Amino acid sequence: MRELLSLFGRVFEDAETYCAYQPDDDYLEKLLSSDTFIAIVAIEESKAIGGLAGYVLTKFEQVRSEFYIYDLAVDERHRRKGVATAMIEKLREIVVSRGVYVIFVQADLNDKPAIALYTSLGNREDVLHFDIAPQNGAT
């Protein structure tokens, strides 16, 4: 999991978020053993070359769930080799047993490779995303 966090920090050029304040081992073990979090890591020669992390969201209107891909990254040297597609295909297999009826993901408008990948796997919906700070103003 720590190697995955380091990969995200490198690929997203945001080491502070992913590496500077990592949770302790107990926290990560609890997260990884929960039914609401899934992490998939693509490994080559004992190194993480890609990773996917996200959350099962239990719905209230029906007995079913959605899955939100929170982060997906592939090391630059391993892109356009099917790594991201393979991780998403593995995720599709895993989530069936958790009652998931749809997987969704966001992509930045300027991230053309991500948009191409996700378009090849599913239906595009153009929506707006808003970040709302908690009442105390923390983000």
Report pTM: 0.88
pLDDT > 70? residue 82: yes
State mean pLDDT over 74-99: 95
Q: How confident is the model at residue 137 (pLDDT cuts 50, 70, 90)?
A: low
For the chain, which domains are there? 36-121 (3.40.630.30)
**Each residue of 3-35: pLDDT tens digit?**
999 999 999 999 999 999 999 999 999 999 999
Helix axes 83-95, 112-121, angle to 10 degrees: 40
Q: Are 65 and 46 in contact (CB under 8 A)?
A: no
Max Cα separation, the chain?
Answer: 46
- Residue 104 phi, psi (nearest 5): -130, 155
